[in-house]
Structure 1
């Protein structure tokens, strides 16, 4: 075998050993090899699955895909899906999780961030008129539970009542604002009845 062949073989063996070191074939804590690989490769994970429509009374068929639409006079893209509803309509948790942050921002106004139990997803709710009375950072919420109310805060514009709903894929150690935006529309508009 030539010197180049030996180098290639050595690189393959080193790569296989490095990959094998990520896997534990002993007691894996009940996790499959695939789950352990997904934990190490955070952006290779599948989406969280169909979510609860996060605005009470809004059918899935009423949701439009506005992800990527121009915002700020064309200076930025839209990083979520807007769900129109009257002011004060209850906002529901789209999935189980823990309230990670209650925040006031210039663009989003009154906002709320919920992180999934596996820490891999953050659900973002913006333009809220306020929070449900018992909502606080660190509180666990269940899918379909009332967490806030539709408003027009931030840059929504007075009287433009809607929920801006976003989903972010999170890498290990990322904070509530650091995730990778994912289009929530396919997760909301799936077939089946909404809650």
Structure 2
């Protein structure tokens, strides 16, 4: 770029010198012409031969054509050279488009915080309690139909309490089965109830009570999961039952918040076995 500017300056200086020289030459030519005209002027009385119409010498030609023929081509060449140099120095338009100016960074949008899991705790799916409606439960003594049952829930036992259970009469050693799915929570031999089984339903809402059993089913144990119809034991007359009238004493309790197998609100089983 620097060398180009030096060349351009030299060209302009040369053009100016040439212009000054030509101007001086033209002035000299005009002066010489004037002197020649003066020297050749006719003497008085002599005839004039081919004299010009007037004695005024012709005006010198203007310098504009000289500038147009000398200075303008030089200036044009210098301008063209500078234009080509600037174009070579600037990057092409495509390169500029491929490298746009970096925009100002924008603040990132806030990210909603994800709550941390609480010790990877898994919320168990609650089990809905069994709807207590007619036909919801299996009759616990095999071979007995609903028509053979008698509602003994409100029978008096002494002067201060009701029976609050269903007595299902059946021959001794008749198999007893689970009325519903659930877990065995207690095997107990009590004075009034004899051999007994306490079973919770699958949701832990109700307790099923089987009493006066003659014996338990083989391998029955506490904590065992039962399915509806699984064997529990056999009809007997243990506890305070009449030996001449073997039967199954069956009760249902709605458990309280403490889930105590021996305590709850009694529910009449009889309607649940009617269809």
Superposition TM-score, scaled by structure 1 size: 0.72
RMSD: 2.3
The Cα of 1:152 is off from its aligned counterpart by: 0.3
List runs of 5+ in structure 2 lacking aligned partners: 1-122
Match of 2:211 in 1: 126
Match of 2:154 in 1: 68
The Cα of 1:68 is off from its aligned counterpart by: 1.4
Match of 1:58 in 2: 144
Match of 2:254 among 162, 165, 169: 169
Note the alpha carbon deviations across 1:139-175, whole angstroms, 9 max, x for none: 0111111111000011112121000000001123221
1:48 and 1:121 in contact (8 A); partners too? no
The Cα of 1:30 is off from its aligned counterpart by: 6.1
Match of 1:92 in 2: 177
Greater helix share, 1 or 2? 2
Note the alpha carbon deviations across 1:114-153, whole angstroms, 9 max, x for none: 0011000100000000100111000011111111100001
The Cα of 1:74 is off from its aligned counterpart by: 3.0
Match of 1:140 in 2: 225
What secondary structure is seen at the aligned counterpart in 2 of 1:156?
A: coil
Note the alpha carbon deviations across 1:7-50, whole angstroms, 9 max, x for none: xxxxxxxxxxxxxxxxxxxxx8666xxx6xx9xxxxxx953761
Superposition TM-score, scaled by structure 2 size: 0.52
State the distance in 1 between where 2:232 and 2:223 align. 13
What secondary structure is seen at the aligned counterpart in 1 of 2:132?
A: coil
State the distance in 1 between where 2:125 and 2:231 align. 33
Match of 1:103 among 177, 183, 188: 188
State the distance in 2 between where 1:46 and 1:58 align. 23
What secondary structure is seen at the aligned counterpart in 2 of 1:104?
A: strand
Greater radius of gyration (CA): 2
Match of 2:243 in 1: 158
The Cα of 1:75 is off from its aligned counterpart by: 3.2
What secondary structure is seen at the aligned counterpart in 1 of 2:229?
A: coil
State the distance in 2 between where 1:168 and 1:183 align. 9
Note the alpha carbon deviations across 1:88-127, whole angstroms, 9 max, x for none: 0000101111011011111111110100110001000000
State the distance in 2 between where 1:99 and 1:29 align. 21
Structure 1 residues 60 and 184: alpha-carbon distance in aligned structure 2, compared to 1, 3 A threshold: same
What secondary structure is seen at the aligned counterpart in 2 of 1:61?
A: helix
The count of aligned residue pairs is: 153
State the distance in 2 between where 1:79 and 1:65 align. 10
> Which piece of structure 1 moves more, 102-111 or 82-91?
102-111
